[in-house]
């Protein structure tokens, strides 16, 4: 045993005494540096994989941009230039937002805690921020100004001087601490053993290779050696060890001495297997995928891309959420109520949806009937519903799918335009517009063929000398589909007008009160005031209505135009940038002033009647409120139905033309309330070329909802247009 002890003593230099974790593996030496609770932040400098993981997370989080939002009603609205946003952007004279986030997240991942000191300015709000070293901050337990269990924070500077701050002067970010409510737990705590083992193994490997690869060994003698022999052997070994790096001379032993390497390939295990295992454990504890940490052993393009997306949507997103929570609880309230911060990640590629995959999933879900289009929009894309037949479609498109009604019951299925149905073009002048003959009850509505094919005689094949209409059932389904789509936008337009009426009512009530305070309604006054003194101002009200309704009307026109193109299965996108669309939208902007003027007239007439009857200020106020209620419930609905009808029919006409339709057909609509006009019913089934007018008893118009129509023709009209196809003079036999 004495010989073994002496030999191992001479071999200590091979490991420089830093393989403390390897003592149980047959080596003896001094203890290597170890991470403990108080030294976790040192892991950033001592362990390469701690540095890599913390750095990757910190810089990824810093890519997010902090924005400030304010609650307005039920929505959060971004506030560019808000004082809190400016503070988080400026930070202090040395740091900007990026460095602020890198430092904060680095401390958070090393120590489990991060701290900001709020540097006060001339006012009550912070003027700058300073990141405090987490290993120099102690939490003072107790009741504070903001917290129920933290009274403040004591910070020790580099000279050992201590300074205590209240809980309102420090923002404390922390991870979950299972054993301590005041501090967060460092991610390094559960992997101390792995980190310490990795550092010890790395140190041993370095010194082992630096020493020329001298393994742990035992020299065995066949006979008992004297002290003098042992001394000579030790001197010989020391001499050889001291010169091996230069001459690489082998150590010759006599026939009675044998060198035995201890252990089973232990040196190889330490060089390769152990470090690989430890680095993967460390990366997993931080939530950093191997390829993101730079471990490429089993990585390729596909899984590296997915690992990066997982890293951002998991570890990085969770860190953003933790920072948001702390800032919204501790910092945002200093800038007023209803203020919050969040991270904007729309510029980060790894956080954006894979639209190719989503599109493939959307096709699979809709084509299989699992989800409707609106359901796919909501759950896959986070978009609002489009409503109508498009939104409720079970599969396929408007023309190739089964359209479900509002109760989920399937409506008629139609896969292509109808077969040829020769009809008269336009009725002769003076003719009452007798509807064209419908096909016989036994006539087929569409040619039979393979599923998904275009039947002979459909819109896909034009035949000279014939005008082809949609079949009877297709026209009925189209009329129902258009009506359902219109009702969606009618609700939106009606609801949008309610705040407008309320705002105008408030304006008029305020004018009544202002004039009452001036004595305008005092008893015995000889001259009666004019009702116009109390009516709302026309031009601002008209502009307000335009700003309220024009975006909806624009969306209505776009929706209806795209639906029209889909009816004829043209495979195109509806183009809003065209003269017809621009002229239509301009006409509706002008109409908003007419709607406003009519509303003002009704208000003025009601107030005039009240003044004539000598009503009090309370009575006149009641009249104004009644005017607003009637406007919200009655006139708003009339405007909604009228404007939606005009939008749908004009957009349909525009869409059919873009899609290649050559003719248009009047479809009479209506129901019990309101019923169809007699002269509109007489137009049902009349087909004219797409650029010509229909001849009604009230005039010549391009179709239902023509902006040139008078109120008796256009108000609450439920008629629609359908496409038809034929050959103009000079057309060839087929396209």
Look at the block and give the residue holding tokens 């991870």: 175
Same domain, 715 and 577: yes
b/e per residue, 30-53, with b = 16+ CB within 10 A?
A: eebebbeeeebbbbbebbebbebb
Is residue 231 a part of any domain in this protein? no
Phi, psi of 42, deg, nearest 5: -70, -15
Is residue 230 a part of any domain in this protein? no
Q: Give the mean model confidence (pLDDT) for residues 697-721.
A: 85
Same domain, 490 and 371: no
Q: Does a cis peptide bond (omega within 30 degrees of 0) precede residue 674?
A: yes
pLDDT digits (tens, 9 = 90+) for 238-250: 776 666 545 556 6
pLDDT digits (tens, 9 = 90+) for 187-206: 888 888 777 777 777 776 66
Higher pLDDT, 42 or 273: 42
Q: How confident is the model at residue 673 (pLDDT cuts 50, 70, 90)?
A: low
Higher pLDDT, 362 or 203: 362
Query: Which one, of 381, 421, 414, lies nearest residue 400 by Cα?
Result: 414
Residue 106 near residue 93 (C-beta atoms within 8 A): no
Residue 68 near residue 341 (C-beta atoms within 8 A): yes
Is residue 620 a part of any domain in this protein? yes
Is residue 593 a part of any domain in this protein? yes
Same domain, 493 and 606: yes
- Residue 255 has a pLDDT of 65
Q: Give the mean model confidence (pLDDT) for residues 174-179.
A: 88
Separation CA 419–CA 426 (nearest Å):
20
| Cβ neighbours of residue 311 closer than 8 Å, sequence gap 6 or more | 56, 60, 287, 288, 289, 292, 350
Which range is least confidently modeled, 349-358, 465-474, 512-521, 525-534?
Answer: 525-534
Identify the domain containing residue 409 by its residue range. Answer: 355-413
Same domain, 361 and 334: no
- Residue 60 has a pLDDT of 95
| pLDDT(563) > 80 | yes
In the numeric block, which tokens belong to residue 406?
A: 């509002």
Q: Give the mean model confidence (pLDDT) for residues 368-381.
A: 82
Residue 717 near residue 684 (C-beta atoms within 8 A): no
- Residue 323 has a pLDDT of 96
Quote the Cα angle for 234-240-245, to 5°: 145
In the numeric block, which tokens belong to residue 353?
A: 């949806």
Q: How confident is the model at residue 705 (pLDDT cuts 50, 70, 90)?
A: confident
- Residue 123 has a pLDDT of 72
pLDDT digits (tens, 9 = 90+) for 331-342: 999 999 999 999
Higher pLDDT, 39 or 95: 95
Higher pLDDT, 663 or 571: 663
- Residue 216 has a pLDDT of 54
Q: Please provide the average confidence, as pLDDT, over all residues in the chain.
A: 77
Share of the chain above pLDDT 70, in %: 73
Higher pLDDT, 120 or 25: 120
Same domain, 581 and 719: yes
Same domain, 505 and 582: yes
Higher pLDDT, 93 or 100: 100
Q: Is 612 exposed, middle or buried (0-12, 13-18, 19+ CB in 10 A)?
A: exposed
Higher pLDDT, 210 or 550: 550
Same domain, 359 and 319: no
Higher pLDDT, 20 or 623: 623
Same domain, 39 and 62: yes
* Domain count of the fold of the chain: 3
Of the three residues 413, 435, 454, the one that is the final residue of a domain is 413
pLDDT digits (tens, 9 = 90+) for 519-557: 666 554 445 677 888 889 999 999 999 999 999 999 999
Is residue 177 a part of any domain in this protein? yes
Of the three residues 299, 323, 351, the one that is the final residue of a domain is 351
b/e per residue, 488-507, with b = 16+ CB within 10 A?
A: bbbebbbebbeebbeebbeb
- Residue 170 has a pLDDT of 95
Q: Give the mean model confidence (pLDDT) for residues 218-229.
A: 75
* Secondary structure (DSSP) of 189-201: GGGHHHHHHHHHH
In the numeric block, which tokens belong to residue 46?
A: 């001592």
Is residue 274 a part of any domain in this protein? yes
- Residue 241 has a pLDDT of 64
Separation CA 37–CA 237 (nearest Å):
43
| pLDDT(164) > 50 | yes
Q: How confident is the model at residue 161 (pLDDT cuts 50, 70, 90)?
A: very high
Higher pLDDT, 419 or 569: 569
| pLDDT(266) > 90 | no
- Residue 575 has a pLDDT of 86
Same domain, 328 and 359: no
pLDDT digits (tens, 9 = 90+) for 577-614: 888 888 888 889 999 999 999 999 999 999 988 888 88
Is residue 441 a part of any domain in this protein? no
Same domain, 481 and 627: yes
Return the half-sphere exposure (C-beta side, CA atoms, 13 A cut-off) of residue 731: 15
pLDDT digits (tens, 9 = 90+) for 128-156: 999 999 999 999 999 998 888 999 999 99
Same domain, 405 and 482: no
- Residue 358 has a pLDDT of 79
Question: Under DSSP, is residue 132 helix (H, G, I), strand (E, B) or coil?
Answer: strand
User: What is the C-alpha R_g of the chain?
Assistant: 41
Of the three residues 376, 396, 413, the one that is the final residue of a domain is 413
Is residue 428 a part of any domain in this protein? no
In the numeric block, which tokens belong to residue 120?
A: 């006060």
Same domain, 32 and 61: yes
Q: How far apart are the first and last CA of the chain?
A: 103
| Run of H or E including 219 | strand 217-221
| pLDDT(162) > 70 | yes
pLDDT digits (tens, 9 = 90+) for 300-339: 666 788 889 899 999 999 999 999 999 999 999 999 999 9
| pLDDT(439) > 80 | no
């Amino acid at each position: 045993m004495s010989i073994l002890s002496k030999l191992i003593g001479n071999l200590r230099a091979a490991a420089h005494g830093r393989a403390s974790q390897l003592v149980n593996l047959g080596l003896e030496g001094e203890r290597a540096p170890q991470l403990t609770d108080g030294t976790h932040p040192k892991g950033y400098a001592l362990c390469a994989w701690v540095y890599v993981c913390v750095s990757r997370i910190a810089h990824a989080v810093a890519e997010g941009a902090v924005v400030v939002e304010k609650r307005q009603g039920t929505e959060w609205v971004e506030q560019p230039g808000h004082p809190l946003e400016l503070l988080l952007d400026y930070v202090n004279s040395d740091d900007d937002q990026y460095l602020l986030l890198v430092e904060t997240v680095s401390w958070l991942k090393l120590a489990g805690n991060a701290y900001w000191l709020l540097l006060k300015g001339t006012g009550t709000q912070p003027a700058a921020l300073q990141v405090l070293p987490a290993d120099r901050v102690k939490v003072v337990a107790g009741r504070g100004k903001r917290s129920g269990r933290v009274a403040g924070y004591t910070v020790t500077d580099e000279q050992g001087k201590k300074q205590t701050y209240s809980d309102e002067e420090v923002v404390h970010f922390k991870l979950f601490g299972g054993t301590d409510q005041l501090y967060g737990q460092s991610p390094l705590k559960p992997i101390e053993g792995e980190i310490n083992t990795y550092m010890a193994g790395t140190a041993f490997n370095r010194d082992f290779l630096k020493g020329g690869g001298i393994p742990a060994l035992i020299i065995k003698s066949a006979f008992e050696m004297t002290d003098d022999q042992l001394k000579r052997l030790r001197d010989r070994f020391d001499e050889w060890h001291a010169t091996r790096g230069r001459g690489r001379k082998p150590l010759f032993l006599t026939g009675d001495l044998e060198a035995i390497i201890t252990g089973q390939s232990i040196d190889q295990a330490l060089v390769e297997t152990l470090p690989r295992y430890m680095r993967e454990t460390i990366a997993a504890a931080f939530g950093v995928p191997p390829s993101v940490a730079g471990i490429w052993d089993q990585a390729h393009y596909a899984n590296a891309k997915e690992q990066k997306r997982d890293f951002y949507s998991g570890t990085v997103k969770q860190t953003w959420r933790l920072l948001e929570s702390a800032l919204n609880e501790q910092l945002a309230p200093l800038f007023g109520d209803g203020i919050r911060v969040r991270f904007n990640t729309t510029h980060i590629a790894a956080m954006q949806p894979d639209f190719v995959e989503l599109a493939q999933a959307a096709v699979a879900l809709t084509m299989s009937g699992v989800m409707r289009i609106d359901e796919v929009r909501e759950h896959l894309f986070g978009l609002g519903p489009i409503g109508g037949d498009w939104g409720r479609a079970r599969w396929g498109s408007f023309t190739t799918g089964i359209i479900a009604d509002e109760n989920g019951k399937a409506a008629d299925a139609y896969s292509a335009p109808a077969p040829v149905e020769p009809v008269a073009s336009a009725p002769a002048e003076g003719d009452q517009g007798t509807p064209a003959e419908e096909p016989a009850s036994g006539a087929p509505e569409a040619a039979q063929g393979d599923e998904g094919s275009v039947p002979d005689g459909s819109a896909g094949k034009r035949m000279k000398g014939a005008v082809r209409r949609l079949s009877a059932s297709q026209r009925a389904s189209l009329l129902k589909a258009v009506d359902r789509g219109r009702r969606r936008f009618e609700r939106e337009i009606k609801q949008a007008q309610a705040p407008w009426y309320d705002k105008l009512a408030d304006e008029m009530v305020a004018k009544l009160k202002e004039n009452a305070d001036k004595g305008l309604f005092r008893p015995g006054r000889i001259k009666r005031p004019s009702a116009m003194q109390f009516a709302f101002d026309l031009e601002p009200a008209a502009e307000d209505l335009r700003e309220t309704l024009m975006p909806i009307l624009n969306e209505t026109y776009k929706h209806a135009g795209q639906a029209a193109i889909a009816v004829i299965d043209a495979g195109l996108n509806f183009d809003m940038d065209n003269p017809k669309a621009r002229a239509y939208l301009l006409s509706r902007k002008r109409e908003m002033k007419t709607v406003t003027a009519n509303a003002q007239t009704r208000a003025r007439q009601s107030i005039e009647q009240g003044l004539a009857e000598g009503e009090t200020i309370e009575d006149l106020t009641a009249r104004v409120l009644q005017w607003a209620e009637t406007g919200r419930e009655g006139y708003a609905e009339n405007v909604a139905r009228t404007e939606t009808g005009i939008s749908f029919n004009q957009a349909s006409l525009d869409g059919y033309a873009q899609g290649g339709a050559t003719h248009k057909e009047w479809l009479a609509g209506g129901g019990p309330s309101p019923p169809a006009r007699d002269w509109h019913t007489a137009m049902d089934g009349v087909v004219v070329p797409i650029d010509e007018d229909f001849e009604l008893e009230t005039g010549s118009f391009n179709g239902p909802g023509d902006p040139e129509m008078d109120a008796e023709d256009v108000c609450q009209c439920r008629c629609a247009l359908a496409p038809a196809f034929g050959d103009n003079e000079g057309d060839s036999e087929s396209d």
